[in-house]
Structure 1
Amino acid sequence: MPDVLARGRSFARRLWLPRAVGLVLSVICILSVQVTQHVSAWLWLLLLANGLLWSPLAYLWAIRSKDPYRAEMRNLLLDCGSAGFWAASMGFNLLPSVTLLAMTALNMLGAGGVRFWRRGVLAQLAGILVGLVVLRHPVATETTTL
């Protein structure tokens, strides 16, 4: 059992920095779209919290778990759901939305293969649905030069 814990914690540790970098880059992409839209202050705060706080929280949640590997796989699914939500929040602005969704989908494929990738796509769709229902943001697929 200690070997399983060590491997799970090692997995979480390896994903911490790429998740942090990916989130900061994602925030930049999302901000580039949302500065051209009229978004509420709570959405800006949620974006900053997601971009700056999620990576360390996910890491702590995983390493303190009884099964760190499984917890990190759950965190990856939450990453996918989050990407879906943010794609919807941008009105599916084409370039940043495809980038976010593809980036998280490839994480799923690399972490758990095709079967886990499918679960990630379902998580993305769930995030999109939540974003559409909660935000009611109009779809605007064009990408601006910004």
Structure 2
Amino acid sequence: MGLASLPQFVVYSELQSHWASWAWTAFCCLVWPHVAYLMARRSKDPLHAELRNFVVDSMMAGSWVPLMHFNLLPSVVLLTVANADKINSGVRGLWLRSLPGMVSALLIVGLATGFAFQPQTSLMVMLACLPILVIHTLAVSLSTYRLVRKLQRQNQRFEELSQRDGLTGLFNRRHWQDRMEQLLLRHQEGGEPATLALLDVDRFKDINDLHGHGAGDDVLRAIAALLAQDSMAQNSPVGRLGGDEFAIALPHSMGQAQAAAERLRAAVEAFEFDNVPGLRCSVSIGLAPPPDDGTLGLREWLEAADRALYRAKHAGRNRVAGQDLEPEADNV
């Protein structure tokens, strides 16, 4: 607000104004901002106090115009800046609520000065208006930029959270399916190799019953971390479809996918949980290649992998099964 005093002081100098005009402007621009800050900080209702201060600011701006004898450029600049501050506050309708006070102050001080009218603006006054024009504009622009960037980060964070499973951090079913639709389209258009792997934790209910749901959550998180690591290495969509079922698209043919799935199965079997001694877990994995028929989609692909998973479960669990593959059991 101190910048607002520059054009006023130059105008007062040209008009040879009374010392009271100088004192009033000095108080408004140099003292009042600190008083307003302390009043708002010490108030029981800081928001209400700050809104009141905004209205007082507008009244002060209105009082300056007749003191400058309605000098055109600084009058327009100061009134515009005062209203812009109300709009930038984000408080709906604040600038409208401030207008009556601004107009009232202008009329009262105008009556006291006899509405002296000298609208001509000298070069010196123009130059004195430049700092508030430039600095205020840049400050508002910077504030708006920071607000937009913060909003963008929050929206990005919200979008990421809406795509993730809360427990494991993997893609949730909806977003995983969206990614898989894109992968299937790339396969059908360009022949990109892919194999869908469905993983299901063996006897997960028994883990919860014997060791508690906290231990069950630990198992799910450990498996998710393993899949996420493998997914990052291969840039593969991986998600939690619900409960104790996971899915990952391996960028391999069926033979290579079987070897990769077997490594995942063995890694899960080797898990140890320090906070739950004696807890062991395993997974059954069903593999399915993408449908070659262009009329078939993700649903049919999931159903094929689900049938393979059922074969692995039916063959004794803790093994990998797939289309045209015999269920491969644990060798231990």
TM-score (norm 2): 0.36
- The total of aligned residue pairs comes to 123
Question: How far apart are residue 136 of structure 1 and its match?
Answer: 2.3
Question: How far apart are residue 120 of structure 1 and its match?
Answer: 1.7
Query: Which residue in the other structure is 1:20 paired with?
Result: none
Query: Which residue in the other structure is 2:317 paired with?
Result: none
Q: Which letter does structure 2 place at the counterpart of 1:68?
A: P
- Which of the pair has more CA radius of gyration? 2
User: Contact 1:90 / 1:137 at 8 angstroms: preserved in 2?
Assistant: no
Query: Which residue in the other structure is 1:92 paired with?
Result: 70
Question: How far apart are residue 134 of structure 1 and its match?
Answer: 2.2
Q: Distance in 1 between matches of 2:39 and 2:101?
A: 19
Q: Distance in 2 between matches of 1:36 and 1:53?
A: 24
Which sections of structure 2, spanning at least 5 residues, go unmatched? 125-332
Q: Which letter does structure 2 place at the counterpart of 1:140?
A: Q
From 42, 52, 55, the counterpart of 2:20: 42
Q: List, as ranges, runs of 4+ consecutive aligned residues in structure 1 with deviation greater than 3 Å.
A: none
Q: Which letter does structure 1 place at the counterpart of 2:46?
A: P
User: Contact 1:82 / 1:124 at 8 angstroms: preserved in 2?
Assistant: yes
Query: Which residue in the other structure is 2:87 paired with?
Result: 109
Matched, 1:27 2:5: yes
Q: Which letter does structure 1 place at the counterpart of 2:117?
A: V
Q: Distance in 2 between matches of 1:123 and 1:109?
A: 16
Q: Distance in 1 between matches of 2:71 and 2:104?
A: 18
Q: Which letter does structure 2 place at the counterpart of 1:94?
A: L
Q: Distance in 2 between matches of 1:93 and 1:120?
A: 22
Query: Which residue in the other structure is 1:125 paired with?
Result: 103
User: Contact 1:80 / 1:120 at 8 angstroms: preserved in 2?
Assistant: yes
Q: Which letter does structure 2 place at the counterpart of 1:69?
A: L
Q: Which letter does structure 2 place at the counterpart of 1:106?
A: A
Q: Distance in 2 between matches of 1:41 and 1:32?
A: 13
Give the percent of matched residue pairs that are identical in Structure 1 and Structure 2: 29
Query: Which residue in the other structure is 2:217 paired with?
Result: none
Q: Which letter does structure 1 place at the counterpart of 2:42?
A: R
Q: Distance in 2 between matches of 1:139 and 1:119?
A: 27
Question: How far apart are residue 100 of structure 1 and its match?
Answer: 0.5
Matched, 1:78 2:56: yes
Query: Which residue in the other structure is 2:33 paired with?
Result: 55
Query: Which residue in the other structure is 2:47 paired with?
Result: 69
Structure number with the higher helix fraction is 1
SS in 1 for 2:123: coil
Kindly report the root-mean-square deviation, in angstroms, between the aligned alpha carbons of the 2 structures.
1.2
Bigger RCO (CA 8 Å, 6+ sep) = 1
Q: Distance in 2 between matches of 1:51 and 1:118?
A: 22
Q: Distance in 2 between matches of 1:28 and 1:123?
A: 23
Which sections of structure 1, spanning at least 5 residues, go unmatched? 1-22
Query: Which residue in the other structure is 2:114 paired with?
Result: 136
Q: Distance in 2 between matches of 1:139 and 1:129?
A: 13
Q: Distance in 2 between matches of 1:42 and 1:100?
A: 19
Structure number with the higher strand fraction is 2
Query: Which residue in the other structure is 2:248 paired with?
Result: none
Q: Distance in 2 between matches of 1:34 and 1:144?
A: 12
Q: Distance in 2 between matches of 1:103 and 1:123?
A: 16
SS in 2 for 1:35: helix
SS in 1 for 2:14: coil
Question: How far apart are residue 144 of structure 1 and its match?
Answer: 1.0
Question: How far apart are residue 137 of structure 1 and its match?
Answer: 4.5
Mean Cα deviation higher: 25-34 or 127-136 = 127-136
